[in-house]
Amino acid sequence: MSDQTIHKLSEEALVAKLRSRDSSAVAVLYDMYSPTLYGVVLQIVKVEEVAEDVLQDAFVKIWKSFDSYDEGKGRLFTWMINICRNLAIDKVRSKAYRVSNSNEALSMNGQAGFVTEAFNPEHIGVREAVAQLNPEQKQIIDLMYFEGYTQSEIAETFDIPLGTVKTRARSAVRFLSRIFKGSV
């Protein structure tokens, strides 16, 4: 199958190719999703080199654990973004990252930052969709998906019961899902 043909695959066909362990499908998957996933990771880790490493780790994990992807639970992109987001948060929370980051800040000695903003959620309509949420839901989604907070951290920081945070997040995700499916 030529690369041109495989680039025209639907998500379902791409998933089928990945399930059959067709390595050429990984290249298509990477081409289709890496720019957006890289942007999400960069938003969290803030350092381009680290974001590149996390993205590479994420695609290895996606390939190795593809059997755990369940189409019934959500779209492929959602599953992949969660893997990337979780790996990026794990990286930021790691002691090695924090030590490295503080050493780098000291060595920059007051110079202007070097991180560029590569991810622009407006490109895929996420910010517009999130703007349609009620203020409480919007705050939760902004903190979770754009700032990298966990639900527990949001509950603790804003003195909101964890159950309330989870309910708001779940309601917001359901609403956003309907928006992206075009049923709102």
Longest dimension (CA), the chain: 55
DSSP calls for 85-127:
HHHHHHHHHSHHHHHHHHHHHHHHTTPPP-------GGGGTHH
pLDDT digits (tens, 9 = 90+) for 101-147: 555 544 444 444 444 444 544 446 677 778 888 888 888 887 887 77
Q: CATH number of the domain at 120-184, please?
A: 1.10.10.10
What are the residue boundaries of the structural domains of the chain, listed by start? Answer: 1-111, 120-184
- Going from the C-alpha of 133 to that of each of 64, 130, 145, 166, the distances in angstroms are 35, 5, 14, 15
Range 49-62 average pLDDT: 93
Model pLDDT for residues 9-45, shown as the tens digit of each residue: 788 899 999 999 998 888 899 988 899 999 999 988 8
Specify which of 66-70, 108-112, 153-157 reaches the highest per-range mean pLDDT.
66-70
Closest CA to 162 of 8, 180, 170: 170
C-alpha radius of gyration, the chain, whole number: 18
Question: Which class for 29: exposed (0-12), middle (13-18), buried (19 or more C-beta within 10 A)?
Answer: buried
Q: What is the pLDDT of residue 5?
A: 42
1-111: CATH, from 3.40.50.620, 2.40.30.10, 2.60.40.150, 1.10.1740.10: 1.10.1740.10
Structure-model confidence comparison of residues 129 and 96, the more confident one: 129
